[in-house]
Structure 1
Amino acid sequence: MGVLQVVSLLASVVAAAGAAAVAPHHAHRSPVLGTATINLARPIGTPQHLAAGFLYGIPDTPDQVRDHFYTEMGFNYGRAGGSQLGSPARGWVYGTIEFNNRFASAVSNYKTIRKYGATMQLLIADIWGADGTAKIEMPGDNGNWTNYDNFLTALIDAINSNDITTSLDIEIWNEPDLTNVFWQRTQDQYLQMWGRGYARLRAAFPRNSITGPCLASSPSATNAWYEAYLQFVKTNNTVPDSYCWHLESGSGDDIKVTLPAFDALLEKYALPSKPLVLNEYGVKAEQQPGGSSWYISRLERYGVRGLRGNWGSNGALHDYFAGLLGKPNAGTSSYSLTQAGYWGNGEYNVYKYYYQNMTGQRVQTIGSPDGLFDVFATKGKAYNSVKMLCGTRLAAGNWDILVTGLSSVGLPSPGSVTVLSHQFNYTDGEFGNVPAPIDQGTTTYKYKKDQLLLHVSTDKTSAYAFEFV
């Protein structure tokens, strides 16, 4: 597990239980890989907990997961459409009964999501049957759009008859750039499908948000899929209400780089800025306390909504809150989709802390220059309202956090401040039963020049929270 250390900018350090004191100037320390910065004097808006949503992860059985698991983490956005359900619920291309049964799964998820005041994104591709499990017919095959038109008619009727339009966002297709998995045809055929589907859905649901392109890859100046898509929606007048793509390409997939690249593409094609919903973030290995804290920090800094990716298969795709919960027989041959008795894992505790403790105002932060360590911070009016959450992107080592603007929360300069520390461990992995983070106790530090330096030594999975008390 990681070890927290804190160092002040003065030679005088008073250590208390739970944290290791380190002399100034980093004496007897391993090399520091970089410094993240928090400016308490620069508020950037009210926290909206933009990262507190996930893909699937909700059982079709109502109330199978108890209410408090949703409310304690501030769940606010879901994404579903019946993917990977077997016969007789495989989707439209397998017949009307299979369409109705798969759509029933989406309706069940919608009702659960709305129970907690959250928004749902409807995965139309999954309702069609394009969940990557088989080679199937695609809309517009051989230039024939009759089946797709009939599908849209049935889909529109089903949405209306089930009264699920409130807080429903509509996603026309998932990851069409994976042409050997979810789309299985050319980009040109996809664009024709987009234009046709957009026109029908916009006419049927003028008040609902349509989102796209929801590509697996991130935008760049050399990504032909983005170039063709943006040019098409511009000329075809089918610009989505929100833009979406996925953050699941590993270490090179960073919104610090891809957001400016996307803005440049919008400018190139004279397209308007729209809200962003990065509706899958995190590869499997990144789904642990440190990785989630890194993504939370990134999404909050740039004001972008994100949903956790889900790496479950078949029934497990519709369970576990996309990797945040465990239950009896999880991950074994005795697993049952309908089994209840859930508990939160170590990563779930990060989302609980994020929602319950990080309130007031977000403040300006800058991640470490190496891109591997990041921090999210909030404050209220008093010094004891300051909260910080940090973690790495699959990296172990030593990083600093420079906290500036202490006087903006009522602390004198110079002076002293007491810091309470929490450590979030990934004990026993994704199905581990971890009731709470480790309380590392408090340490009081003297500081000067209105700033304090915190030192974090961590492994690849742990996260930390610091509070002024």
Structure 2
Amino acid sequence: LNWAGSVLATEKGVQPPTISDSVLVDFAGTGRDINHVASGFLHGFTTDGLSPSDALVLPLKVYMVRATPPATRTQAARMKQLGVKQQVVLSDNWYFGYTSSFLPGDNNDWSIWDTFVTNEVNEIIKKGITDNVEFDIWNEPDHPYFWPRPQDQILYAYYRAFNIIKKMLPNATIVGPSVSSNASNKVINFLGWCKKRNIVPDVIAWHFPSNIVAEVQAVRTWLAKNGLSNVKININEYTLGTEQYAGKHAWLISQLERAQVDAAIHAIWSDQSTGTLDDILTPSYEPKASWWVYKGYGDVSGKTVTTTPGKNVDLFAGKDSKTKSINVLLGTKLNLQPGDVKVKFAKLSQAFPGFIPRGRQVSVKVERIAEGSGGALSGLETVYEATMPMKDNFEVLISWMDPHDAYVVHIGQVPEN
């Protein structure tokens, strides 16, 4: 193996015959601070907030949780201790439930809705957590399960709730519309409706983008053109039920970071409020492959590094000036054909300008996050590890045989003897 050429990270010695995809990590530029904004979970903790344990939470650098009003209140102390932001879904505590025969505004009766919103906000105020809670008014108001009424009715419910919350808490952070998708330009249409009435949410949110980068860019462009660049963007549910595996989780995280969203939250499809962090832990709190993906994401620290995705593979990379280390998380879509994935590194000397690593050498380690059968995973498989002479441009070839898997690459100083 030659540093001037490439490093081949094979899986158990299998060398596939083709280059399946190619990605680039370019160390030129300063990058932006890494805050792990895609490490968010919906109903992922137990209602009391006590599970899972710190040992399973801290490595993931959790940024935000989304929960019911009762859970938001009972979890508040733990979330503050962990430094995790909270988003409360007011509609999750609606007196009569989503399938009720009575919903806000039925029979033109708004008094119950107004009282409900007022009471929920008062509970947050009494808990003393208004500085750490965002108010999401209604979940998926475009979905017939969550809102089987005309859209005009839920829009007026949002209008009333917005004004009640802002009157009670002028600095409150309001989230909306949290629609189930951005089909038919729902998000921008909602923003236009809100702008005319001066009730634009502080955070614009929607679920399950079909094209994360393009949709976020379109909304951000609209916001800028309309003088609303201060509005944040949160994909407050991502990962479909068919996407619960390591390779896709890593790809989605990379896409969310590429779009530079302000926050993103993993959706829940089973195990609600059981403390499995949306099923990335087993019922007995053992890490699955996807837990290791979020741990790998948490390990990417410091400043972002410029990356270029491939056709199916995407990646997120960071450089930490304190530890002089580089970490990369890689994921893929299922269309990836078995073969070598070429990871090209450029301008390594610019990662930490002026810094010369010990012995002018660096260590390179590639690990596989194996999805397997989807059960517990005790650790990662090292598929390549070596010490190499320092060189500006080089390649790592990963033998990527199963698109359900994800990979991490670590580059750092050679340990002292």
Q: TM-score, normalised by structure 2?
A: 0.87
Counterpart for residue 265 of structure 2: 307
**Counterpart pick for 1:459 among 385, 402, 406:** 402
1:147 counterpart = 2:112: yes
Instruction: Check 1:62–1:17 CA distance in 2 against 1; reply closer, same or farther (3 A cut).
Output: closer
Counterpart for residue 234 of structure 1: 195
Instruction: Check 1:9–1:286 CA distance in 2 against 1; reply closer, same or farther (3 A cut).
Output: farther
Which structure 2 residue ranges, 5 or more long, are not aligned? 413-417
Secondary structure, counterpart of 2:232 in structure 1: coil
Counterpart for residue 364 of structure 1: 306
Give me the whole-angstrom Cα distance separating, in 2, the residues matched to 1:21 and 1:272. 50
Counterpart for residue 440 of structure 1: 383
Give me the whole-angstrom Cα distance separating, in 2, the residues matched to 1:130 and 1:421. 52
Asked whether the 8 Å contact 1:9–1:447 carries over to 2, the reply is no
Higher mean C-alpha displacement, 435-444 vs 65-74: 435-444
Secondary structure, counterpart of 1:125 in structure 2: helix
**Counterpart pick for 2:156 among 175, 192, 196:** 192
Higher mean C-alpha displacement, 61-70 vs 197-206: 61-70
Asked whether the 8 Å contact 1:7–1:21 carries over to 2, the reply is no
Give me the whole-angstrom Cα distance separating, in 2, the residues matched to 1:270 and 1:45. 23
Q: What are the residue-to-residue correspondences of 1:48-447 with 2, within 5 Å?
A: 48-81=35-68, 103-128=69-94, 132=98, 134-178=99-143, 180-218=144-182, 222-223=184-185, 225-247=186-208, 253-266=210-223, 271-304=228-261, 305-312=263-270, 316-328=272-284, 342-355=285-298, 357-368=299-310, 370=311, 372-381=312-321, 385-397=325-337, 398=339, 399-409=341-351, 418-429=363-374, 432-443=375-386
Instruction: Check 1:324–1:141 CA distance in 2 against 1; reply closer, same or farther (3 A cut).
Output: same
Give me the whole-angstrom Cα distance separating, in 2, the residues matched to 1:259 and 1:62. 31
Instruction: Check 1:130–1:449 CA distance in 2 against 1; reply closer, same or farther (3 A cut).
Output: farther
Higher mean C-alpha displacement, 114-123 vs 440-449: 440-449
Paired amino acid for 2:116: F
Deviations 1:216-246 (A, max 9, x none): 1126xx42x3354222211111011111111
Instruction: Check 1:211–1:130 CA distance in 2 against 1; reply closer, same or farther (3 A cut).
Output: farther
Deviations 1:319-355 (A, max 9, x none): 3111111134xxxxxxxxxxxxx22111111212221
Shift of 1:62: 4.9
Paired amino acid for 2:333: R
Shift of 1:302: 2.7
Give me the whole-angstrom Cα distance separating, in 2, the residues matched to 1:172 and 1:64. 26
Instruction: Check 1:272–1:406 CA distance in 2 against 1; reply closer, same or farther (3 A cut).
Output: closer
Paired amino acid for 2:179: L
Secondary structure, counterpart of 1:326 in structure 2: coil
Instruction: Check 1:449–1:29 CA distance in 2 against 1; reply closer, same or farther (3 A cut).
Output: farther
Paired amino acid for 2:153: Q
Shift of 1:207: 2.2
Asked whether the 8 Å contact 1:38–1:364 carries over to 2, the reply is yes
Give me the whole-angstrom Cα distance separating, in 2, the residues matched to 1:233 and 1:154. 24
Instruction: Check 1:44–1:238 CA distance in 2 against 1; reply closer, same or farther (3 A cut).
Output: same
Same amino acid, percent of matched pairs: 26
Instruction: Check 1:443–1:343 CA distance in 2 against 1; reply closer, same or farther (3 A cut).
Output: same
Deviations 1:246-299 (A, max 9, x none): 12x6xxx12221122223443565544411111111112222211111122122
Give me the whole-angstrom Cα distance separating, in 2, the residues matched to 1:114 and 1:416. 42
Instruction: Check 1:71–1:382 CA distance in 2 against 1; reply closer, same or farther (3 A cut).
Output: closer
Asked whether the 8 Å contact 1:16–1:443 carries over to 2, the reply is no
Counterpart for residue 98 of structure 1: none
Asked whether the 8 Å contact 2:49–2:71 carries over to 1, the reply is no
Give me the whole-angstrom Cα distance separating, in 2, the residues matched to 1:50 and 1:130. 33
Root-mean-square deviation over aligned CA pairs: 2.9
Shift of 1:162: 2.6
Higher mean C-alpha displacement, 147-156 vs 402-411: 402-411
Paired amino acid for 2:199: T
Paired amino acid for 2:277: F
Counterpart for residue 415 of structure 2: none
Counterpart for residue 334 of structure 1: none
Give me the whole-angstrom Cα distance separating, in 2, the residues matched to 1:113 and 1:365. 32
Asked whether the 8 Å contact 2:188–2:219 carries over to 1, the reply is no
Paired amino acid for 2:283: K
Asked whether the 8 Å contact 1:231–1:269 carries over to 2, the reply is no
Higher mean C-alpha displacement, 13-22 vs 317-326: 13-22
